[in-house]
Structure 1
Amino acid sequence: MTAQPSGHPSGAAGFLHRFEGLRARLPGARLGFVDALRGEAAEAFRQQGFPTRRVEAWKYTDLRPLAAAGFDEPLTAVDSAPDLPPAHGAARAVFVDGRFREDLSALDGLPYAARSLAETLPGLAGRLGGLARIDAQPMVALNTMLFEDGLVVTVPAGVAGGVLDLVSVATASERPEAFHPRHLIRLGAGASLTLIETATGPAKARYLHNPVYEIEVAAGAALTHAQLQQEGDAGFQLSTVYARVDEGGTYDNFTLNAGARLVRNEIHAILAGPKAACHMNGAQLLQDGQHADTTTVLDHAAPDCASRQTYKTVLAGRSRGVFQGKIHVHQIAQRTDGYQMNQALLLSPEAEIDSKPQLEIYADDVKCSHGATVGEIDAEQLFYLRSRGIPEARARALLVEAFLKEAIEGVQDETARGALDAAVTGWWQRQERAA
């Protein structure tokens, strides 16, 4: 695809300008339902624009640096071969600058279907856009307006899908680039899958990675979804996940934010059937100059459902972390069991954390709780380790790892938990080298 020439408008106007120029060439342009959906999204984005801090949900996250940039379409060379992160399973779907790369992927012989969204659009009427809210989420409207590709996974009823790696790699460029992948994941009744997503990019490249996920977990199915965000330190990532879990199903999400200049990970999950469960755990590991925002909205819309949320944030230098978590219990959702905890560990007096837990309960028979703590490394614990001959850097690392342990141990899948452990260890090793 040909990029728009440099000098086009920036901010919301720039993206709308690009959409008008690219609309006839975007995937699905000749499919009526796709073109109509893009048009609705463009109008929604025109009405909303980039959210400002005057919008309550964006009170702690300032998108002005992103809005001021003039992003272009990526121009990835067809034969480019970027470095890929280590594989966690035999199956792998690789996207370079938001576009599926079959030559780098390994999707043959799977007991389920995993294909490029651009190739499968004709069969996605009623599924694409079924969960996403373009009217309420401007970044989702932006994605819907400009998506080019993504991954479509359909696991049939009763099938154990094993582990699937979803890899997103940004490439270096002299100009800011933006890509908006759209991923659709559907598990049939009693099916299972572990999806390990890794996002990486070059250290100094300015780019926007704006993925949207629409996830459906049918009755009795189980999806483990580990998101390892390790973008380049000049990049932006704004990720939005929509997950619907039916009767007896389980959605297990873990998000690790350990890269990017600015990142917001937003999860909207609805427990739509009795005895459905959702576990959302995460860790934000922030260095000087980084801003990371985790925002969750969990709807208990059926009786006898359970949810658990544990999020940990470690902040070094002049970094800022945000956690906003809302549990909404509908009147029908009797015997709800919901738990939410957010904890922050400050490694620097210049670090900042904003925490906003919320409970909105309309049922009578519920058990819900939430809490938040903020603190520094315990001086007595540090002294104890030092007195046993452990060097200070290693002692601090041990205490940070112990702080994060509760969140990581909440991930039941061993492969996903191992990937998270490795990512956390790698982050701390980089801190030690930089010290």
Structure 2
Amino acid sequence: MTALPTQRLESWRYTDLRALNAMSFAEAPAASLPDGLPDIGVPRLVFVNGRFDEAASSALPFARNFAAVDEVSDLPLARINAEHAHDGVTLEIPDGVDAGVVLLVSYANGGALHPRHRVSLGAGAALTLLEVVKGDGVYWHNPVTDIVLAQGASLAHYRLQDESQEAFHLATIRATVAADAAYESFTAVMGAKLSRAEFHVELTGAKAHTHLNAAQLLGGSQHGDFTSVVRHKAPDCSSRQTVKSVLCDSARGVFQGRIEVERVAQKTDGYQMSQALLLSPTAEMDIKPELQIYADDVKCSHGATIGALDEEQVFYLRSRGIPEDTARSMLIRAFLTEALEPVTHEGAHALFEAAIETWWARK
């Protein structure tokens, strides 16, 4: 059995899983789907406590059932997932097919869940995948999603993690992007007591592109970790990693972003940016950007800002007759609105807007 990673591993230095390690999780029990889960009028696939709910799901010609895997990676959470996975979905989009939008809904209320999902797009294919993860009570959610994009394929992958405030959410997403293909991702982190979204993207063909976006909205004693590794393995590829965080109370946010450029990957264009708003003196943000470059004709950079709201902007709004609380809310919403720009699908955008509004109303 694979053990949970510890802070002795450099990639886990900011996230301590001892609280999770001290708990005992049995296999997630059977459960029924609660009312009120998202439905934006598109085909959807539903998982309840890690198991596929056929009755609540749409029939899709390109969706297949779960198949077990042998995991040989050096990622401990992926190995744990392989040891315990019992369900998941495989989406295989044929060459040249635009599959539209698919909604993947996961709900949990207890135990340990280890779903294994696969997404494969053929040459020139397109898909928008919207994942919404919700739950109640104490549980551990450890999903792994493997993505393969053939030449010229395009995947827009939107993730809303709005789980129980008592839950543990540790997600691993791995993507391989071929020549002229594009992987666009946006993750909104609002739920879970402790969460980590870990992305590993390999750009394997010329002019491949990826943009990993995230917004972390954390309060109380929540801990949110966004870790990304982008490997440039071919020339003329581009990557962007953009993370915005709003932290209240004693919340802690983490951004670890790494760009790796192999010698063959000339003309690489890689960029990272992390911006954080700390709304409390006890909130904390840890940022660790990394550049590992072996090519000599590249354009790679990173930047980071951490601070409170601009008091001059607050004063300006107050001078126009706007109450202080409203002025601060407007500035925070403007900060988050910019983070939502990558979500171009109207239904998905409205879903994220509503989730942010609900989060802000609780603060």
Q: Tell me which interval the TM-score lies in, with the shorter structure as reference length.
A: over 0.9
Summarize deviations over 1:152-194 as a string: whole Å, max 9, x none: 10111111111101000012x5xxx101000000011111111
Describe how 1:286-325 pairs up with structure 2 within 5 A. Answer: 286-325=218-257
| 3-state secondary structure, aligned to 1:103 | coil
TM-score under structure 2 length normalisation: 0.96
1:192 to 123, 126, 137: 126
C-alpha distance in structure 1 between counterparts of 2:267 and 2:344, whole Å: 24
| 3-state secondary structure, aligned to 2:336 | helix
Map of 2:93 onto structure 1 = 155
Describe how 1:357-376 pairs up with structure 2 within 5 A. Answer: 357-376=289-308
Query: Partner letter of residue 17 of structure 2?
Result: L
C-alpha distance in structure 2 between counterparts of 1:98 and 1:393, whole Å: 41
Map of 2:282 onto structure 1 = 350
TM-score under structure 1 length normalisation: 0.81
Would you say how many aligned residue pairs link Structure 1 and Structure 2?
363
1:91–1:163: 8 Å Cα contact kept in structure 2?
Answer: yes
Map of 2:62 onto structure 1 = 113
1:194–1:416: 8 Å Cα contact kept in structure 2?
Answer: no
Summarize deviations over 1:88-108 as a string: whole Å, max 9, x none: 34200000000000011122x
C-alpha distance in structure 2 between counterparts of 1:70 and 1:81, whole Å: 24
Map of 2:356 onto structure 1 = 424
Tell me whether 97-106 or 410-419 shows the greater mean CA deviation. 410-419
C-alpha distance in structure 2 between counterparts of 1:360 and 1:243, whole Å: 19
Summarize deviations over 1:44-87 as a string: whole Å, max 9, x none: x1xxx21111111000000000000011112214xx23234222
Q: Once the 2 structures are TM-superposed, how far is the Cα of residue 412 of structure 1 from its aligned partner?
A: 4.0
Q: Once the 2 structures are TM-superposed, how far is the Cα of residue 426 of structure 1 from its aligned partner?
A: 2.1
C-alpha distance in structure 2 between counterparts of 1:225 and 1:155, whole Å: 14
1:224–1:413: 8 Å Cα contact kept in structure 2?
Answer: no
Q: Once the 2 structures are TM-superposed, how far is the Cα of residue 392 of structure 1 from its aligned partner?
A: 2.7
- Bigger radius of gyration among the two: 1
C-alpha distance in structure 2 between counterparts of 1:388 and 1:76, whole Å: 55
Map of 1:54 onto structure 2 = 8
Map of 2:216 onto structure 1 = 284
C-alpha distance in structure 2 between counterparts of 1:81 and 1:365, whole Å: 53
C-alpha distance in structure 2 between counterparts of 1:414 and 1:357, whole Å: 32
C-alpha distance in structure 1 between counterparts of 2:301 and 2:129, whole Å: 29
Question: What value does the CA root-mean-square deviation take over the aligned residues?
Answer: 1.5
Q: Once the 2 structures are TM-superposed, how far is the Cα of residue 418 of structure 1 from its aligned partner?
A: 3.2
Summarize deviations over 1:199-226 as a string: whole Å, max 9, x none: 0011xx1100000000011111100001
Map of 2:21 onto structure 1 = 67
Summarize deviations over 1:260-286 as a string: whole Å, max 9, x none: 000000000001100110010000000
Q: Once the 2 structures are TM-superposed, how far is the Cα of residue 321 of structure 1 from its aligned partner?
A: 0.4
2:33–2:48: 8 Å Cα contact kept in structure 1?
Answer: no
2:258–2:289: 8 Å Cα contact kept in structure 1?
Answer: yes
Q: Does 1:216 align with 2:134?
A: no
Describe how 1:173-188 pairs up with structure 2 within 5 A. Answer: 173=110, 177-188=111-122
Identical residues among aligned pairs (%) = 52
Runs (5+) with no aligned partner, structure 2:
none
Map of 2:83 onto structure 1 = 145
Summarize deviations over 1:20-40 as a string: whole Å, max 9, x none: xxxxxxxxxxxxxxxxxxxxx
Distance 1:396 1:58, change over 3 A: same
More strand per residue: 1 or 2?
A: 2
Map of 1:6 onto structure 2 = none
C-alpha distance in structure 1 between counterparts of 2:339 and 2:103, whole Å: 21
Q: Once the 2 structures are TM-superposed, how far is the Cα of residue 409 of structure 1 from its aligned partner?
A: 1.0
C-alpha distance in structure 1 between counterparts of 2:113 and 2:80, whole Å: 10
Runs (5+) with no aligned partner, structure 1:
1-41
Q: Does 1:380 align with 2:315?
A: no
Q: Once the 2 structures are TM-superposed, how far is the Cα of residue 404 of structure 1 from its aligned partner?
A: 2.2
More helix per residue: 1 or 2?
A: 1
Summarize deviations over 1:243-269 as a string: whole Å, max 9, x none: 000010000011110010000000000
1:89–1:163: 8 Å Cα contact kept in structure 2?
Answer: no
Tell me whether 96-105 or 403-412 shows the greater mean CA deviation. 403-412
